[in-house]
Amino acid sequence: MTVTHPLFLTAGLALCFGAVAVLLLITFGSSTGQIALSRRRPGVVAGPSLLTRATDSATAYLERNVSRNAAFGIRASLEQAGLKMRQADFILLVACIAVTAGVIGFILYGFLAALLLSAATPLVARLTLNVLSGRRRSRFDAQLGDTLQMLAGGLRAGHSLMRCVDAVAQEADAPTSEEFARLVNESRLGRDLQESMQDAAVRMRSEDFSWIGQAIEIHREVGGDLAEVLDQVGETIRERSQIKGQVKALSAEGRLSAYVLIALPVAMFLYMSVAGSAYISTLYTSVIGWVLLGVALILLAVGSFWLSRVVKIKF
């Protein structure tokens, strides 16, 4: 009797779902050669499908009962990650993925695997948001030098500060253009520019951008050459960026070691699942094995957090 490996079963299920999706897309997705509903049934208005109505109802429910709760903090994370998605839509997407992962885990390994996969889905979603937010903040900090040069150049050309901010919003790269476009929109709605810049600094966790806002506020109170002030702030920011680059280069070996130590247990587990499935199957076919897997995950999480704090240098 031949025993099918779980990995092959998973791949087969994925290929089957993909084939069904392609079939549905080809069958119902193409509108070539179809007669419009207004011509086939005059006076009949095409309404939303059953799936669309169900999705809208679920999104509206989440918007009323879950999304308004500030304790989730998902809206701020979506803004920091630069995802143009409503909080209710994101929660519904994560819930659907969790249900799908739970069903696949139940089919392959049983109830405990379904529970673990469903519980791990929100954690993976939060980790994804944190990674995207970190990358977006890094790009924003790397673009601050060019941003200050654009602001100073516009001021020297005789433009007003708001005109320079609008020019940055139109000509800079993302995410700087997105954040400055938000500054322009909030200013047009009557909000003070200083408050908007401080909120942007908090949202992007950028101490350098907070300095820019403070420099503009001081110039508003005491006067002077704002272009010269921005040049000096830009020089300070570039020096800090250079020091950060040196620190990052010097700590690269430690970070690489941390990545290897974190990935090694996971890689060995996957390798043993393929090379010696009978040997490793004890971990997910018995209660003691599941307990050991849980303890291993906890220890791996604690070790990963400890290594991340060791290799992260703040100055």
* pLDDT above 80 for 39: no
The DSSP code for 315 is: -
- In the chain, domain spans: 73-137, 143-250, 252-311
- Work out the pLDDT band at 38, boundaries 50, 70, 90: low
pLDDT tens-digit map of 176-221: 888 899 988 988 888 888 888 888 888 888 888 888 888 888 888 8
Asked if 137 contacts 205 with a C-beta cutoff of 8 angstroms, the reply is yes
Which of 146-155, 222-231, 305-314 bottoms out in mean pLDDT, i.e. has the lowest? 305-314
Q: Look at residue 19 in the predicted model and tell me its pLDDT.
A: 65
Domain 143-250 belongs to what topology?
Receptor-associated Protein (1.20.81)
The C-alpha atoms of residue 211 and residue 191 are separated, in whole angstroms, by 19
* pLDDT above 60 for 34: no
The C-alpha atoms of residue 117 and residue 115 are separated, in whole angstroms, by 6
User: What's the whole-number mean pLDDT along residues 57-63?
Assistant: 59
The C-alpha atoms of residue 115 and residue 118 are separated, in whole angstroms, by 5
User: What rounded mean pLDDT belongs to the chain?
Assistant: 78
Q: Look at residue 13 in the predicted model and tell me its pLDDT.
A: 66
What is the DSSP track for the chain?
A: -PPPPHHHHHHHHHHHHHHHHHHHIIIII--TTPPPHHHHSTTPPPPPPHHHHHHHHHHHHHHHHTTT-TTS-HHHHHHHHT----HHHHHHHHHHHHHHHHHHHHHHT-HHHHHHHHHHHHHHHHHHHHHHHHHHHHHHHHTHHHHHHHHHHHHHTT--HHHHHHHHHHHSPTTHHHHHHHHHHHHHTT--HHHHHHHHHHHHT-HHHHHHHHHHHHHHHH---HHHHHHHHHHHHHHHHHHHHHHHHHTHHHHHHHHHHHHHHHHHHHHHHHH-HHHHGGGGTSHHHHHHHHHHHHHHHHHHHHHHHHH----
pLDDT tens-digit map of 64-104: 566 555 445 677 788 888 888 777 778 878 888 888 888 88
- Work out the pLDDT band at 263, boundaries 50, 70, 90: confident
Which of 51-60, 192-201, 218-227, 248-257 bottoms out in mean pLDDT, i.e. has the lowest? 51-60
* pLDDT above 80 for 2: no
* pLDDT above 60 for 26: no
* pLDDT above 60 for 46: no
State the sign of the Cα–Cα–Cα–Cα dihedral 121, 126, 131, 135: positive
Q: Look at residue 293 in the predicted model and tell me its pLDDT.
A: 85
Asked if 204 contacts 139 with a C-beta cutoff of 8 angstroms, the reply is no
The DSSP code for 109 is: T
pTM summary value: 0.66
For residue 192, the number of C-alpha atoms closer than 13 Å in the C-beta half-sphere is 7
Q: Look at residue 236 in the predicted model and tell me its pLDDT.
A: 84
- Work out the pLDDT band at 3, boundaries 50, 70, 90: very low
User: What's the whole-number mean pLDDT along residues 250-259?
Assistant: 82
Which of 15-24, 123-132, 232-241 bottoms out in mean pLDDT, i.e. has the lowest? 15-24
pLDDT more than 90, % of the chain: 1
* pLDDT above 70 for 62: no
What is the DSSP track for 25-53?
A: IIIII--TTPPPHHHHSTTPPPPPPHHHH
Q: Look at residue 21 in the predicted model and tell me its pLDDT.
A: 64
* pLDDT above 70 for 231: yes
